Amino acid sequence: MTFFERSFYHNTLKNWLIGLGIAFIAFLILRLFKAVAHRKVKAFAERTTTSLDDLAAGLIDRTKYFFLILVAIYIGSLFLVLPGAVKLVVNKLMTIALLVQGALWGSTIFDHLVRRYQQRKKAEEDTASLMTFAALGFILRLVLWSIVAILALDNLGVQVTALVAGLGVGGIAIALAVQNILGDLFASMSIVLDKPFVIGDFIIVDNLTGTVEHIGLKTTRLRSLNGEQLVFANSDLLKSRIKNYQRMEERRVVFTMGVVYQTPAEKLAAIPHLIQDIIESQELARFDRSHFKEFGDFALVFESVYFLKTPDYGAYMDTQQAINLAIFNRFQKEGIEFAYPTQTIFVDREDGLPGLPRSKNNPPKRERFE
């Protein structure tokens, strides 16, 4: 019997050397493949604008050497006759290595998504939601590694049923204790992902108005027209009715005006066409309608509607001012009088001396006071 034919742990020394040699060669091949693949994919990613090749390069780079070593050892063990206990240890180590490497790949994917989101948001100058999205990535990584840890412990023979049950009860207790914070956190994620508003939008929440300054993990802050800062809990904000004026494409404007009852009928009929001409002369205004609406208490009321082609409030006020001045000047030229609150009182009295009885020659006289 030669030296290489001696048996050690159910395998000859020759078989041990063959197994080690195969494991070593497998490691060298895997390492070489990783280096070449990473270099090729990275060079290709630099020539393209897509993000998938960048992600592929990142996944190859995050492939760790411990994983390659364990894969090489597993390949080498296939050429050996190992006891059941040793085979079980090798299989468990290989499973744990796959779980850990899979978690590293998953973390790389999450990091890539967060980075892409940050780049896009920086381009859009909406940086306030970056913190929330980064927190979402952290939570996803935490959940991923927790699952990997539980599976690894289960693979090592640890009874994780009681551990999972304990974590569940503890998680429920923690969730109940911090339910308001968690509610605001998930509301923040809803705001970031659903985008009912973004930084810079002018919104109305119930009877409060302001421009969105900051969207945080727990609160959203607005700057009101008076200058003070309004702070809302994210969960309360999503429960409220929100009007977002920044999303408005056109502004619908309705205004009314009244003229006196003494206005002639032909001038009343001409007023809607007069107002239409004035509105259509404005560059940003799109005329909709103008009507003699009703007989008011002291005026004949006209209602007019037009659309402003921009949501800008300053442009709306400038246009409305120009319309009002044009109507005022035109009415002066046409001799149309604006109405203002007045009251007419009719009083009956006897003509003549006080106490003189009424007669055919002395009928009651009616006077009007305004």
Over residues 81-121, the pLDDT tens digits come to 777 777 787 888 888 888 888 888 888 888 887 777 666 65
Give the pLDDT band (50/70/90) at residue 9.
low
Say how far apart CA 201 and CA 219 lie, in whole Å.
Answer: 16
Over residues 182-227, the pLDDT tens digits come to 677 777 777 777 788 888 888 888 888 899 888 877 888 899 988 8
Residue 293 has pLDDT above 80, yes or no: yes
Domain spanning 248-370, CATH architecture: 2-Layer Sandwich (3.30)
Residues of the chain with CATH 2.30.30.60: 182-247
Say how far apart CA 42 and CA 52 lie, in whole Å.
Answer: 11
Taking the CB of residue 368, how many other CB atoms lie within 10 A of it?
8
Q: In this predicted structure, what is the pLDDT of residue 160?
A: 66
Residues of the chain with CATH 3.30.70.100: 248-370
Q: Which fold has domain 182-247?
A: SH3 type barrels. (2.30.30)
Instruction: Say which residue, 145 or 343, is predicted with more confidence.
Output: 145
Token pair for residue 90? 């090798």
Say how far apart CA 158 and CA 42 lie, in whole Å.
Answer: 41
User: Pairing relation of β-strands 219-223 and 251-259?
Assistant: unpaired
The type of residue at 232 is F
Token pair for residue 289? 């309608």
Residue 356 has pLDDT above 50, yes or no: no
Contact in structure between 133 and 115 (CB atoms under 8 Å): no
Highest mean pLDDT among 109-123, 150-164, 236-250, 345-359: 236-250
Q: In this predicted structure, what is the pLDDT of residue 323?
A: 96
Over residues 16-36, the pLDDT tens digits come to 788 888 889 988 998 899 888
Summarize the confidence of residues 311-340 as an average pLDDT: 92
Provide the 3-class DSSP secondary structure of residue 204.
strand
Q: What percent of the chain has pLDDT over 70?
A: 77
Average pLDDT of the chain is 80
Summarize the confidence of residues 38-62 as an average pLDDT: 82
Summarize the confidence of residues 45-65 as an average pLDDT: 81
Residue 175 has pLDDT above 80, yes or no: no
Residue 241 has pLDDT above 70, yes or no: yes
Residue 79 has pLDDT above 70, yes or no: yes
Instruction: Say which residue, 144 or 292, is predicted with more confidence.
Output: 292
Q: In Å, how far are 35, 60, 61, 187 from 40, measured between CA atoms? A: 9, 11, 12, 43
Instruction: Say which residue, 218 or 350, is predicted with more confidence.
Output: 218
